Amino acid sequence: MGAVPLQVTMNARPYLHGPEAEALTEALQAGQYGHSAIVDRFEQAIADYLGVPDMVAVASGTAALQLALTTAGVAPGHEVIVPSQTFCASIHAILATGAHPRFVEINPDTLCTDAANVRDALTPKTRAIVPVLYGGRAVDLSTLHDELTRQRITIVEDAAHAFGSHCKDTFVGARPGVLTCFSFGPIKNLTCGTGGGIIPRTPPEAQELRTLRALGIVQSQTQRAATTSYTVQEFGLRATMSALNAAIGLAQLEHFEKVAAKRQELWRTYADGLHALDGVRLVDVDIDHTVPFNCVIHLTDRDRVFAALRASGLGVGVHYPPNHHQPAFKHWHRPLPVTERSARQLMSLPFHPSMNRDDVQYVLSALARSLATETP
Ligand SMILES: Cc1ncc(COP(=O)(O)O)c(C=O)c1O
């Protein structure tokens, strides 16, 4: 084999279509870097794309989760059900509200939680559930909706990976009764550089989120500019999205379909090649409905293969070490045997839209060679 192709040395990277640079320059020259009309336009464009009435743009996916949980009434004394198999941001967002996480098991084939696992984890303190749409796959908890509504429990879904995915025929973000949180971070399906967004369930909820993201000030930026005062109605954060990030997001959205198709094609190419490899199990993202964020496999000899591939220059990764074993979250540890077994076997393959089929074949060949090498 020759030199490692550049694209497979990275596990993930942003994909730029071209117009982002011009959009960013225009926004820089416009001179309003905080909330501006560009952010309003980005919010409307995302809402239109998903076919929903509104979207509230915020500074990050983590902020989106924290603000959505707060708006759902999550507060000290409450528990929030969340899989341990997620990025630590999901857990920090819960702790930021003063509530505690209650870690829940996943289905090892999808790395997502499901209705049965969630039902088992409910306690009288449960106030919200944060299903994580791992890899972009939708999580359908609709069989629990009536029960959850009766108990005043809100579903705040962590759709950081899932912009553009569907649950059956409906866009993630467009299902009634669910507060959906997206990340528009650097390597997400749609990037703003950094950023996040919440799909509110009602107009009052949207208003509340806009107040919370702007330091509790009820007047909009435009209203504030035209008056001698403003009202700080309640607690709030500085969590607005910058116009610079919104400008990048608007330029990205124009070409999103291309990226979505590319991600699906790459994932399918991996799936076709991985069939032939013994001892490798692909995490199932429900590809026909999903814009995949990553391509993740289980393999029994993970640590050895991971080290060998990294040593040969391949950008393999592990997403994510389980949170219930992290020192910061140890207080809420409980045994999760399925998560623990799965976590020892996970490996993410290089996956981003700048790759092509040859890059995928290169990774597959390197993986096959590494699997064929005996453990010393
Ligand atoms: C599953 C998950 N949730 C939440 C987040 C937080 O998003 P952000 O980085 O935009 O704050 C991430 C970011 O990688 C994530 O992967």
Q: Is the pLDDT of residue 1 over 80?
A: no
Percent residues over pLDDT 90 in the chain? 96
Q: Is the pLDDT of residue 376 over 80?
A: no
For the segment 356-371, what is each residue's pLDDT rounded down to a tens digit?
999 999 999 999 999 9
Catalytic, 188? Answer yes
Q: Is the pLDDT of residue 101 over 70?
A: yes
Cα(275) to ligand 1 centroid in Å equals 30
Element containing residue 104 per DSSP (H, E): strand 100-104
Q: Judge if the upstream peptide bond of residue 270 is cis by omega within 30 degrees of 0.
A: no
**248/253 Cα distance (integer angstroms):** 9
Atom of ligand 1 nearest to the CA of 293: 16
Element containing residue 282 per DSSP (H, E): strand 280-282
Q: 235, 219, 179, 221: which is closest to 202 by C-alpha?
A: 179
For the segment 259-279, what is each residue's pLDDT rounded down to a tens digit?
999 999 999 999 999 999 999
Count Cβ atoms within 10 A of the Cβ of residue 6 and give its class: 0-12 exposed, 13-18 middle, 19 or more buried.
exposed
pLDDT at res. 224: 87
8 Å CB contact between 82 and 55: no
pLDDT at res. 308: 97
Cα(34) to ligand 1 centroid in Å equals 22
8 Å CB contact between 110 and 85: no
Strand 126-129 relative to strand 154-158, pairing = parallel
pLDDT at res. 342: 97
For the segment 194-205, what is each residue's pLDDT rounded down to a tens digit?
999 999 999 999
**More confident call, 1 vs 276:** 276
pLDDT at res. 33: 95
Q: 202, 172, 200, 217: which is closest to 67 by C-alpha?
A: 200
For the chain, the residue count is: 376
135-144, 170-179, 224-233, 297-306: least confident range: 224-233
* Beta partners for residue 103, in sequence order: 82
Query: Average pLDDT over the chain, rounded to whole?
Result: 96
Domains identified in the chain and CATH numbers: 19-254 (3.40.640.10), 256-372 (3.90.1150.10)
Percent residues over pLDDT 70 in the chain? 99
2-6, 11-15, 25-29, 256-260: least confident range: 2-6
Q: How confident is the model at residue 374 (pLDDT cuts 50, 70, 90)?
A: low
8 Å CB contact between 63 and 237: yes
Q: What is the mean pLDDT of residues 343-359?
A: 98
pLDDT at res. 375: 59
Q: How confident is the model at residue 228 (pLDDT cuts 50, 70, 90)?
A: very high
For the segment 291-336, what is each residue's pLDDT rounded down to a tens digit?
999 999 999 999 999 999 999 999 999 999 999 999 999 999 999 9
154 close to ligand 1 (CB < 6 Angstrom) = no
Residue nearest to atom 7 of ligand 1 (CA): 61
90 close to ligand 1 (CB < 6 Angstrom) = yes
Q: Which one is catalytic: 125, 168, 188, 330?
A: 188
245 close to ligand 1 (CB < 6 Angstrom) = no
* Most ligand 1 atoms within 8 A of CB, residue of 13, 58, 62 to mutate: 62
Buried b (16+ CB within 10 A) or exposed e, 86-118: bbebbbbbbebbebbbbbbbbbbebbbbbbebb
